[in-house]
Structure 1
Amino acid sequence: MKKLLVLLAMAVATSASYAADDCAARAAEKKLAGAAKNSFMKKCEKDAMGPAGQACEAKAKEKKLAGAAKNSFMKKCVADAS
């Protein structure tokens, strides 16, 4: 059971990094820079999180988390949801 949970957590973490890489590649393909790139990346990564990530995002906003606290909460929340 523990091995399954570890594999699942690794899959979520890996898919998140692939999503970020994919978003960065698409931003480069569109030749975005500055504020346009930041906006695109934020939306792209949010869309890549799926419903579980969006629910976690809402919870983080409700708790008024920011910075490292938000990042830590999001990582744990998405892993728990999966």
Structure 2
Amino acid sequence: MKSLPRILFAAALTLGFAAAHAADATCDAQATDKKLHGAAKTSFLKKCNADAAASAPAGNAACETKAADKKLHGAAKNSFVKKCTADAAAGKS
């Protein structure tokens, strides 16, 4: 039973990195669409990534709840939460 908290922590950490990577790609795409360069792009990316990081934990908790409601476990749960979190970061519902 002592390893369960470690597993949950590792899963949460992994999902956090996945969400951050998805946010990086989304923010970079937005900066490209806005044709930002140099300091303007750096400033935009910093704010965009901070905003995405602030909303990721709430999105992740909602995805975990949805997975629990669907009674998903193991790889199916991880896959569902990963996709749900990525969709939430991209602004999909």
Q: Same fold (TM over 0.5)?
A: yes
Matched, 1:43 2:47: yes
Tell me the TM-score normalized by structure 1.
0.57
Q: Which protein is bigger by CA-based radius of gyration?
A: 2
In angstroms, what is the RMSD of aligned CA positions? 2.0
State the 4+ residue runs in structure 1 displaced beyond 4 angstroms. none
Tell me the TM-score normalized by structure 2.
0.51
Matched, 1:26 2:30: yes
Q: Which runs of 5+ in 2 are unaligned?
A: 58-93
How far apart in 2 are the matches of 1:46 and 1:29?
Answer: 19
User: Percent of aligned positions with the same letter in both sequences?
Assistant: 40
Change (3 A) 1:51 1:25: closer
Q: Which runs of 5+ in 1 are unaligned?
A: 54-82
